[in-house]
Amino acid sequence: MKQYFIIFSLIVTSIFSLSSCNDDNNSIRTTAFTLTTENPKDLTDPSVSNLTASFKNINTGRTTTSNAFSGNQLEVELTEGIYHITIEGNVKYSFEEQEMNTKIKGYKESVNITGETASSSLTLFLSQELSDFVIAEIFFTGTTTPEGKQYDGDKFIKIYNNSDTVLYADGLSVLVSEFLTVTKQDYTPDIMSKAMAVSAIITIPGDGTVYPVQPGESIIIADNGIDHREANSQSFDLSKADFEIFYDETNDIDNPAVTNIKTPYDRFLFHNRGSKSMALARIPNIEEYVLDSVNMYHYEYTFVFGEHVIPMDGDCLQVPNEYIIDAVNMTIPAEFQWIVTSPSLDMGWTHCGEIDKDQNRYNKSVRRKVLPTTVNGIEKLQDTNNSTLDFEADAVPSLAK
């Protein structure tokens, strides 16, 4: 009798297990999703081909890809969720009686895909893959002392000549975003497709012939251009940096052996958790540009906290996307909400650490990847305008021993 009871118990358990599995399967809902692409405006006779779309579920991290486009539409089955959508392909179009061939891309964040059917549209843009200066590395986290305390002042940015010719760094500006990648608001007017909202700028001095950079060489801009190892054995020697940021109005350290860099707009701040983005730009007549009120951006948004709804506004500088030659979005993965540049400049992001105030982020940088082959013996850095692909996150800083 006992044996029959055991067998009966096993059968009942199996039935409940199967029922549980079926319930789990039924709880996974899918959506028949239709994506419609729109070509960039002002293109003459565009012909788009080889489109591939990637759908990244931000809840699960799972990515679904498809190239089954029919004209400008794609139908794909997706599990319900919130997705970041990325598209890459090729486009032919006419320009001044010439046939142009280039890459085309698209990007859309936080698309809520639910229900039996859903749809969304996405405007494509030309990929601006230039052979110029690129941001090779940003060390924004700072180091720690042997005792585990945070050490400040040894942050730096490395800029690399990724072209085949000598480039002059004179007048090159580093921009810092006004907005945070971990806080998304509906800022109006929305200028992102045309310009970058900027909180700070630093600009390399010179008249255009002072600071040549050979192909495959780099320059370093230090927060403080001193040998930080004297105060912290786990830091770097930045006394041989090409430039240092110096603020006249403060008791900032000034190393006479390192050229001071100009700060024409506000103070240059490294966000040590990586919630702001950076870019390189060539801004004509920078001193005049920052003083001209027409280049200011007044924005408004509504701050919502619980039951409180508060109208907010702010002012900052705006820099046209045409002036920007490279951009890198940075964020905190667990807190990421959006990129704060046009996706035509950068459609991804990189990071140090995983969560807010992550103690593991210190002593790490973000470094651009090196391509496996050289050109005329010169290393080339990867530059697809997608920092998720182009950068090594949580990297060992290049100046570390």
Q: What is the pLDDT of residues 224-282, one digit of tens each?
A: 999 999 999 999 999 999 999 988 766 778 899 999 998 899 877 899 999 999 999 99
Q: Which of 126, 150, 178 is the last residue of a domain?
A: 126
Decide if pLDDT at 16 tops 60: no
The answer to whether 317 and 307 have CB atoms below 8 angstroms apart is no
Q: Say if 156 falls within a structural domain.
A: yes
Percent of the chain with pLDDT over 70: 92
Range of the domain at 277: 133-395
Decide if pLDDT at 3 tops 70: no
Q: Residue range 5-20: average pLDDT?
A: 44
Q: Say if 15 falls within a structural domain.
A: no
Q: Which of 126, 153, 188 is the last residue of a domain?
A: 126
Q: For tokens 């050109």, what's the residue?
A: 375
pTM assigned to the model: 0.81
Q: What is the pLDDT of residue 96?
A: 65
Residues 202 and 61 in one domain: no
Q: Which of 83, 99, 126 is the last residue of a domain?
A: 126
Residues 140 and 75 in one domain: no
Q: Say if 344 falls within a structural domain.
A: yes
Query: pLDDT for 340-353, tens place per residue?
Result: 999 999 999 999 99
Contacts of 50-53 with CB under 8 Å at 24 or more apart are 50/89, 50/90, 51/87, 51/88, 51/89, 52/87, 52/88, 52/89, 53/85, 53/86, 53/87
Rounded to the nearest integer, the mean pLDDT of the chain is: 90
Query: pLDDT for 189-200, tens place per residue?
Result: 999 999 999 999
Q: Say if 287 falls within a structural domain.
A: yes
Residues 6+ apart with CB under 8 A from 165: 215
Query: pLDDT for 100-136, tens place per residue?
Result: 888 899 999 899 999 999 999 999 988 766 679 999 9
Q: What is the pLDDT of residue 9?
A: 47
- Distance CA(346)–CA(357), nearest Å, equals 25
Residues 336 and 258 in one domain: yes
Residues 330 and 230 in one domain: yes
Decide if pLDDT at 354 tops 90: yes
Residues 221 and 137 in one domain: yes
Decide if pLDDT at 61 tops 80: yes
Q: What is the pLDDT of residue 102?
A: 83
Residues 189 and 320 in one domain: yes
Decide if pLDDT at 305 tops 90: no
Residues 98 and 35 in one domain: yes
Query: pLDDT for 366-375, tens place per residue?
Result: 999 999 888 8
Decide if pLDDT at 174 tops 50: yes
Q: Say if 25 falls within a structural domain.
A: no
Query: pLDDT for 136-159, tens place per residue?
Result: 999 999 999 999 999 989 999 999
Residues 42 and 102 in one domain: yes
* Sign of the Cα pseudo-torsion (308, 311, 317, 320, in order): positive
Q: Give Cα 383 distance to the centre of its chain.
A: 12
Q: Say if 337 falls within a structural domain.
A: yes
Q: Which CATH number do you get for residue 47?
A: 2.60.40
Residues 200 and 320 in one domain: yes
Confidence of residue 26 (pLDDT cuts 50, 70, 90): low
SS3 141: coil
For the chain, how many structural domains are there in total? Answer: 2
Decide if pLDDT at 187 tops 50: yes
Q: What is the pLDDT of residue 130?
A: 66
Residues 190 and 223 in one domain: yes
Residues 113 and 164 in one domain: no
Residues 192 and 336 in one domain: yes
